[in-house]
C-alpha cells in the first residue's frame, strides 16, 4: 500500500486527527491518541504502535499513543507476529494477557502493550482523541467519556482469515494499511 492508495474520504478523516494533533502541540499540550476497538487485540494495538512510530519518524515530540477496547482479552499472537515481521522489537513475558514490551527502535521508547479497556487507568482520562478502529466499538461507544475528539477510522479485522491459508497475508496487509495511514497522518502535522 502507498499513500496515494488511501481513499480521499479516509484522508479527510486522517486530516482531522492531524489537525487535532497540531492544535494540541501548538497550544503547548501533549497530543494524546487512544486507538479503540472491541477487544484491544489487533487493530487498536497496531494503531498505537504505528502512531508512535510515525510521530517519531517525523520527529514530532509531544505525541502519546494508547489503545483500549470495550472489553479486554489479549493482544492476539497473530497481530504480534505481524508487527514483528514489520520490524518492531517485541519482548513477550507470557501469561494469559501478556504485557508485551514493544519498541520500533533499540534507541526508542518502550511501549507496554496489553489488552485493556479504553478507560483503563493506564490510558488518558480526558483531552484525548478517541480513534475508533472497528465498527463494533464505534457503534457501541457513540460517546467516549473524556475524549476531546472522536474519529471513526475503521479497519477490516484481519481475524476474518484466522486459520486460513491467507492468515499471514491478512495480518500483514492490515499492519501495512495502518502503518501507511499513520505515516500519512503525521506527515500532515
C-alpha cell of 134? 472497528
pLDDT at 139: 83
Digit-coded pLDDT (tens) for 65-114? 999 999 999 999 999 999 999 999 999 999 999 999 999 999 989 999 99
Q: Within the chain, which residues score under 50 in pLDDT?
A: none
Q: What is the pTM of this model?
A: 0.96
* Cβ proximity of 41 and 76 under 8 Å: yes
Distant-in-sequence, close-in-space partners of 94: CB < 8 Å, separation ≥ 6: none
Q: Where are the domains of the chain?
A: 3-187
Query: Any idea which fold 3-187 has?
Result: Rossmann fold (3.40.50)
Tell me the C-alpha distance between 109 and 132, whole Å.
24
Amino acid at each position: 500500500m502507498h499513500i496515494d492508495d488511501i481513499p480521499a474520504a479516509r484522508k479527510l478523516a486522517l486530516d482531522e486527527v492531524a489537525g487535532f494533533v497540531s492544535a494540541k502541540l501548538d497550544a503547548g499540550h501533549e497530543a494524546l491518541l487512544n486507538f479503540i476497538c472491541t477487544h484491544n487485540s489487533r487493530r487498536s494495538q497496531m494503531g498505537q504502535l504505528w502512531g508512535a512510530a510515525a510521530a517519531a519518524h517525523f520527529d514530532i515530540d509531544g505525541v502519546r499513543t494508547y489503545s483500549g477496547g470495550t472489553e479486554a482479552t489479549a493482544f492476539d499472537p497473530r497481530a504480534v507476529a505481524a508487527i514483528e515481521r514489520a520490524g518492531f522489537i517485541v519482548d513477550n513475558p507470557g501469561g494469559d494477557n501478556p504485557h508485551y514490551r514493544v519498541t520500533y527502535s533499540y534507541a526508542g521508547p518502550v511501549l507496554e502493550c496489553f489488552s485493556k479497556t479504553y478507560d483503563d487507568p493506564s490510558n488518558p482520562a480526558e483531552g484525548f482523541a478517541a480513534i475508533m478502529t472497528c465498527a463494533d466499538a464505534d457503534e457501541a461507544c457513540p460517546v467516549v467519556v473524556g475524549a476531546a475528539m472522536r474519529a471513526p477510522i475503521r479497519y477490516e479485522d484481519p481475524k476474518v482469515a484466522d486459520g486460513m491459508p491467507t492468515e499471514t497475508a491478512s495480518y500483514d496487509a492490515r499492519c501495512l494499511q495502518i502503518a501507511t495511514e499513520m505515516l500519512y497522518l503525521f506527515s500532515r502535522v
